[in-house]
Structure formats: structure tokens, C-alpha cells
Amino acid sequence: MAKTFTKPRSLSDQYTHYCPGCTHGVIHRLVAETIDELGVMERTVGIAPVGCAVLAYNYFNCDFQEAAHGRAPAMATGIKRVRPDLVVFTYQGDGDLASIGMGEIVHAANRGEKFTTIFVNNAVYGMTGGQMAPTTMPGQRTTTSPAGRDVQQVGMPIKVAELLAALQTPAFISRQTVIDPKSIRKAKQAIRRAFEYQVAGRCFSLVEVLSTCPTNWGKTPLEAVDWVRDTMLPYYPLGDLKTPED
Amino acid sequence: MGKILMKGNEAIGEAAIRAGCLNYFAYPITPQSEVAEYLSWRMPEVGGVFLQGESEVAVGYMLFGAAGAGERVFTTSSSPGISLMSEAISYIAAAQLPAVFVNIIRGGPGLGGILPSQGDYFQATKGGGHGDYRLLVMAPASVQETAEMVMQAFPLAEKYRNPVMILGDGLIGQMMEPVEFPDHLRTAPSNKDEWASSGMSTRGSSRRNLVKSLFLDPETLNNQNLLLKAKYDRMKREEVRYEGYNLQGDYRVLIVSYGTMSRVCRTAVDNLKAQGLEVGLLRPQTLFPFPERAIREAAGKSTCRAVISIEMSMGQMVEDVERSVRGIRSVHWYGKCGGDVPTPEEIMEVVRDLDDGGCQTPGCICDKE
């Protein structure tokens, strides 16, 4: 009997270290499916961030480099400039990309570097234990904002996709989530499109994926999904913010 | 080819190209911006990569990525810029990748000044970034030697899979001198297929390569550091380079000096010889590994009364000189680091004082003895 659903070839056999209810696993799978479908695993180099996904290289089957905190876009620039034939993607969280790595992502996007960034936004620093991130929601309690994010003190959450879409250089910028089957299908389409633009040598591409962190949010996996829908989605609207055709 | 007149900074760029390095990322900073200006047109001319990054931080990681992909790559900067790159340098050393960094030192600390200095000796030789790593540090004293060292730096970086630093001062970058580029670069066959994340199809392999520096298990990390240490120990055995001047004579004082400063010392040695005072000069060409043994042996000469480190810093290399001499002679320091290069006359006076038996330099390390 033919198999109708299998693990992507680009994913390894290792169990992940991600917490129950975390959506990193789903996002990994969507990236791996895309790499399989485009047939580029053998010429793909991924770049792991610092954060929960630092060990992402254990879960993919392609070449990988491990970045310093926030610097993945600079490394991707280095690789892609010297080897334009490779398919390069960075996989970064919101502390990594939107805080310490803001300079690198803005300039890589503005130069129109031909790589793809998967930006996983779960509104918190995950690996270090749930500290406030630039994307933390107003009033959201974290270990460094125990009374809730005070926007008078630290400003409003950064909308990375909108910020990058405002740059004048052509790019593909999309925001998606993976909290239910329908949104997962849409996220897959966006991720695939992002890689296709890169393979065609068209433009920089970034897909922001709103993600869950039940552990650091102090919620059950189901409550976490609800929180993304009820709290994050109204502030971080989904959809393609910019395409190179614009 | 014959000799051509070239500015040091431009010779650095040309030497890298002739060494087969066609990838250059950089950020402008005085006094080495001419390298980027030169390569901004020269790299495209030879089909290479030139990219001006948004910061020295980013440039450091552009090198990390490119080196990790197995391509020859280099950058140039000056002191404050090297501080910013030091994070990446630590990661590159940890990930065991070859890359070449050129530091045309300016005065420091902080913004300091834009004139020549040797104030980054500690940063270069003791590690500006975190962790147990070392750079192979080469210190040229002329435009010709700069070109040669830049060309040698790439195969050395590949031999050790470790960053190599060319440590020059502002004068090396700014002055024009005749230079003749060596024709050939001897390079061992690359083993980059074993480690570069160059894409599996590039190397026809089904085994993927990881470029990483995270080792959470204590025993694994310790072993990793032992592996790095073994490379640095091998550098100490195989890569020490220095040049002696007037070391055959019965010198009474031994000067240790490198880079531009050593050229002034050479003039002082000649002048003092004409006046009847024999002085020896030992010029380290590699600062790590440091020519410890050569300095100890030179200091041990029976006629030698004192050893002095003359440097454009407030006494950095002198610590390695003192360590090398191991107490068999008194060790002294003389230096300036505001941007003025000490003159031959100043050096002659300092050396004469030493020969007379009395160090007159305020702040010399011998005060503590």
C-alpha cells in the first residue's frame, strides 16, 4: 500500500527537544517539505540562531552553520555572496532577530540579499527562560516584566514584517501562523513562495510565523493556541505584506 | 613582474587577490579605508566579491559565513573596528575556519586617534574575543613585507583552519614604497570537503557538514579546547619568525621591536654603532607565536647588559619579552602611543642610559624590580 504521508527527506530521524505544544516542530516540517519539493536539499545551507532553535541543525538533513546571537543574516550574506548557487535560509526567533540582530536583518533585507529568513515570533525569549522580547505584547507578564510589559517604559512590540516591508528594496515579506490546519497550509504556501523567490534569484524573502510558547507563557498547549488567536493576531495581522511584484 | 610604487593599504588589497582570495567584506575606518576603496573596483575587475557591510560586527559574520562555506575570504579594519569583529573572530576560531583579518592599528583606547600605534598587541596576541583561542599574528615592517605576509596568511589560515591576523600600524597602511608581488603562492591541497558547509552536492557527498561552536557537554568542550590548544602548540613549533640585526656583534643592549617601530630602531642601532656602542635588534615577525627562545638566547649573550622593548604602546609586548628573558637580564620598556613615532635620537638616548647602567624612562617596568 502506498504511503500518503511521510516524514520529509530533509528532516532527520532525531526527536526534537522542543516543549509539548511548541510549534517549532511544525515550522521545521514546513521548511523541510519545501526543500524537498524544490529538490534543493543537497545545495541548501541552513543557519541556526541562538535561542530554542540553536539545535535546529540536528533536525534537518542539509548543511548547517550555527550563528552567534542575531548574526545569522550577516552569515547568510557571506555565504550567498560567495556561493550564489547555494540555497541559504536563516531560522531565527524574535529575541535573536528583533532585538540583538535587528541591524543585521534590516541591512540584509535592504541590500536585497537573496536568502530566506524564517522568523519565529512567540513574543518571548524561550531558551533563556521567558524574558521579555521586543515582540512581547503590552501587559504580557514575563520573567523580566513581572507586572506585564509597560509600554510607557519599553515601547510597543515591534512589528518586524511591517518594518521590513517599509524598505524600498523589492522583497517578499509575509506573516503567517501555524495554530490550526488552515493556517498551517497558508504558512506552507508562504514559505514555499519565499524559497521560490530565492531559487529564482529574485529577492530577499522573510516569513514571520506567529508561534506558541506554552512553557514560558504558563499556558497549556490549547490555551497557547487561543492566546495567539485572541491576543497576537489582532496586533500582528496575517498575510503578504510585500511581494517583489508590488 | 617588476617593482611598482604602491601605498601599503592598496598593496594589501592587491596581495590578497594575488593570493587567490576573491572575497572581501569591509566597513570603512581610518587609516585603512583605501583597502576598501581599492578593492571596490579591483574585485569586480577580477570577478571577485566586494561588499561594504553595515558594521564591523556584521562584516565579521560575513567572513564567518563565507569561510564556513569553504571560500577564501578576508577583511581589513582598524582598532575600534577590530574590537567589534572580535566576537566573530572568537566564533571563527571556535568553528575552526580559515580567514584573514588585517588590523592597521590606530591610537586607542576608545576612539583614540587616527595616527599610527601598536596599542592592539594585547588584543591581537592574547585574544580580543572571549574564550581560549589564539590568532596567528604576523607583523610586517614594510609595504613589501606586508604584501608577502598577506599572501602567506591565506595558506597559513588554511593549514591551521584558524584566523590569521596581519598587525600593521597606520604608517604601514599609509606610506608608499616599492613593492614586488611574489609570483606564486604555495598552497597545500584543501581538505575543505571534510568541514565546509558548501552544500552536499558541491562536494558530491551524502554526508552533511556542520559549522558550529556549541558543545554543551563538558568533556566534549574540554576535548575541543585541547584540540585547539594542540594547533596553537604546533604554531609555536612551526611558525615562529623573527629577524635579527647586528646580533653577531658584542652588543651591550638588546632591543626588541616590531613593525614600523623596528625600522626606527634599526637607524638608532646604526647610529650608535658609528658612535662606538654595539646594540642588537631582534624583530619579531610573528607576535603569536612569539620568538621566546630567540629572545632568551640573544639576551643571554655575555656582553649583553639589558634588554629593552621599544613599542608604540604603553608596554604591551614588553610583558612577552620579560617572560622570554626569564630574569637572566633586566628588561625595560620605552614607548609612545599618541601617534608620534619615537625618533632615532630618542631611542639612542634611552639605549645610552641603559648602557650607562641607569634606566631613565618613567613608568618602565624595571621600577617594580
What CATH number is attached to the domain comprising B344?
3.40.50.920
pLDDT at B368 over 80: no
Within a domain: A12:
no
Which CATH number is A186's domain given?
Answer: 3.40.50.970
Angle at B259 between CA B257 and CA B262, to 5 degrees: 40
In this structure, the number of other CB atoms found within 10 A of the CB of residue A218 comes to 12
CA distance B94 to chain A (A): 11
- Contacts B210 to A, Cβ<8 Å: 57, 63-66
In a shared domain, residues B225 and B253: no
Within a domain: A77:
yes
Q: Which residues pair with A171 in a beta bridge?
A: A204
Looking at B238, B255, B290, the residue that finishes a domain is B238
- Which pLDDT belongs to residue A103? 98
- B317: which 3 cell numbers? 609586548
% pLDDT > 70, chain B:
99
Question: What's the CA gap between B98 and B160, in Å, rounded?
Answer: 7
Is the bond leading into A214 cis (omega within 30 degrees of zero)? Answer: no
pLDDT at B257 over 80: yes
Which CATH number is B67's domain given?
Answer: 3.40.50.970
* B178 touches A at CB < 8 Å: no
Assign B369 a pLDDT band (cuts: 50, 70, 90). very low
How many domains is chain B built from? 2
CB B63 within 8 A of CB B154: no
Residue with cell 604608517: B171
- Contacts A79 to B, Cβ<8 Å: 65-66, 68-69, 197
Three-state DSSP string of A1-21: CCCCCCCCCCECCCCCCCCCC
* Helix H or strand E encompassing A111: helix A102-111
In a shared domain, residues B145 and B193: yes
- Which pLDDT belongs to residue A190? 98
A70 to chain B: closest CA residue: B58
Residue with cell 585574544: B127
* B202 touches A at CB < 8 Å: yes
Q: Which residues pair with A138 in a beta bridge?
A: none
- Which pLDDT belongs to residue B2? 87
% helix, strand, coil for chain A, step of 5? 40, 20, 40
Dihedral sign, Cα of residue A19, residue A22, residue A27, residue A29: positive
Dihedral sign, Cα of residue B154, residue A44, residue A46, residue A63: negative
Average pLDDT over residues B179-185: 86
- Contacts A83 to B, Cβ<8 Å: 69, 71, 198-199, 202
In this structure, the number of other CB atoms found within 10 A of the CB of residue A203 comes to 21
How many domains is chain A built from? 1
Mean pLDDT over each residue of chain B, to the nearest integer: 96
- Which pLDDT belongs to residue B172? 94
Within a domain: A37:
yes
Amino acid at A140: Q
Give me the phi and psi of A41, to 5 degrees please: -55, -40
- B351: which 3 cell numbers? 639605549
Q: Which stretches of A155-231 are DSSP H helices?
A: 160-165, 181-199, 214-217, 221-227
Within a domain: A17:
no
In a shared domain, residues B156 and B290: no
Dihedral sign, Cα of residue A9, residue A15, residue A16, residue A21: positive
% pLDDT > 90, chain B:
94
pLDDT at B186 over 80: no
Within a domain: A9:
no
Task: Answer whether B197 sits within 8 Å of A43, measured CB to CB.
Answer: no
Nearest to B251 by CA among B237, B270, B232, B223: B270
Task: Answer whether A71 sits within 8 Å of B23, measured CB to CB.
Answer: no
How far is Cα of residue B339 from the mean position of the Cα atoms in its chain?
Answer: 19
**Domain with A95 in it:** 24-242
In a shared domain, residues B45 and B149: yes
Confidence check on the interface: ipTM exceeds 0.90, yes or no: yes
Report CA-CA distances (Å) from B2 to B72, B135, B173, B179. Answer: 27, 33, 21, 8
CB B309 within 8 A of CB B332: yes
Average pLDDT over residues B189-218: 95
* B214 touches A at CB < 8 Å: yes
What is the 8-class DSSP label of residue B188? P
- Which pLDDT belongs to residue B357? 78
Question: What's the CA gap between A203 and B149, in Å, rounded?
Answer: 39
What is the 8-class DSSP label of residue B192? G
In a shared domain, residues B180 and B90: yes
- B364: which 3 cell numbers? 618602565
Within a domain: A126:
yes
Within a domain: A61:
yes
Question: What's the CA gap between B166 and B136, in Å, rounded?
Answer: 9
How many CA atoms does the CB half-sphere of A225 hold within 13 Å? 11
In a shared domain, residues B315 and B225: no
How many CA atoms does the CB half-sphere of B270 hold within 13 Å? 7
Nearest to B166 by CA among B187, B147, B181: B147
Task: Answer whether B61 sits within 8 Å of A66, measured CB to CB.
Answer: no
- B282: which 3 cell numbers? 631582534
Q: Which residues pair with B287 in a beta bridge?
A: none
Question: What's the CA gap between A31 and A46, in Å, rounded?
Answer: 10
Task: Answer whether B66 sits within 8 Å of A81, measured CB to CB.
Answer: yes
What is the 8-class DSSP label of residue A133? -
Task: Answer whether B198 sits within 8 Å of A86, measured CB to CB.
Answer: yes
Looking at B238, B253, B281, the residue that finishes a domain is B238
In a shared domain, residues B183 and B286: no
Per-residue pLDDT tens listing for chain A (246 residues) = 788 899 999 999 999 999 999 999 999 999 999 999 999 999 999 999 999 999 999 999 999 999 999 999 999 999 999 999 999 999 999 999 999 999 999 999 999 999 999 999 999 999 999 999 999 999 999 999 999 999 999 999 999 999 999 999 999 999 999 999 999 999 999 999 999 999 999 999 999 999 999 999 999 999 999 999 999 999 999 999 999 998
- Which pLDDT belongs to residue B97? 98
- B234: which 3 cell numbers? 604546533
Question: What's the CA gap between B26 and B53, in Å, rounded?
Answer: 6
In this structure, the number of other CB atoms found within 10 A of the CB of residue A196 comes to 16
Cβ-nearest to A82 among B23, B58, B61: B23
- Contacts A105 to B, Cβ<8 Å: none
Task: Answer whether B64 sits within 8 Å of A41, measured CB to CB.
Answer: no
In a shared domain, residues B299 and B347: yes
In a shared domain, residues B258 and B226: no
- Which pLDDT belongs to residue A114? 98
Within a domain: A2:
no
Q: Which stretches of B212-343 are DSSP H helices?
A: 218-238, 259-274, 292-299, 317-325
pLDDT at B33 over 80: yes
A64 to chain B: closest CA residue: B210
What is the 8-class DSSP label of residue A220? -
In a shared domain, residues B230 and B248: no
Question: What DSSP assignment string belongs to B108-171?
Answer: -STT--SSB--TTHHHHHHTSSSSS---EEE--SSHHHHHHHHHHHHHHHHHHTSEEEEEEEHH
Question: What DSSP assignment string belongs to B312-352?
Answer: SSSSSHHHHHHHHHTTSSEEEEEE--SSPPPPHHHHHHHHH
- Which pLDDT belongs to residue B185? 75
- Which pLDDT belongs to residue A1? 79
Cβ-nearest to B68 among A71, A79, A103: A79
CB B113 within 8 A of CB B102: no
**Domain with B189 in it:** 4-205+212-238
In a shared domain, residues B173 and B233: yes
Task: Answer whether B61 sits within 8 Å of A63, measured CB to CB.
Answer: no
Assign B187 a pLDDT band (cuts: 50, 70, 90). confident
Q: How do residues B222-244 score in pLDDT, each as one tens digit? A: 999 999 999 999 999 999 999 99
CA-based R_g, chain A, Å: 17
CB A73 within 8 A of CB B65: no
Task: Answer whether B208 sits within 8 Å of A61, measured CB to CB.
Answer: yes
Residue with cell 590578497: B16
In a shared domain, residues B290 and B246: yes
Q: How do residues B293-334 score in pLDDT, each as one tens digit? A: 999 999 999 999 999 999 999 999 999 999 999 999 999 999
CA distance B51 to chain A (A): 9
Interface with chain A: mutation pick from B61, B75, B97, B200, highest number of A CBs within 10 Å: B61
Task: Answer whether A68 sits within 8 Å of B61, measured CB to CB.
Answer: yes
Task: Answer whether A78 sits within 8 Å of B61, measured CB to CB.
Answer: yes
Question: What's the CA gap between B1 and B21, in Å, rounded?
Answer: 20
What is the 8-class DSSP label of residue B295? H
Task: Answer whether B208 sits within 8 Å of A63, measured CB to CB.
Answer: yes
Task: Answer whether B65 sits within 8 Å of A103, measured CB to CB.
Answer: no
- B362: which 3 cell numbers? 618613567
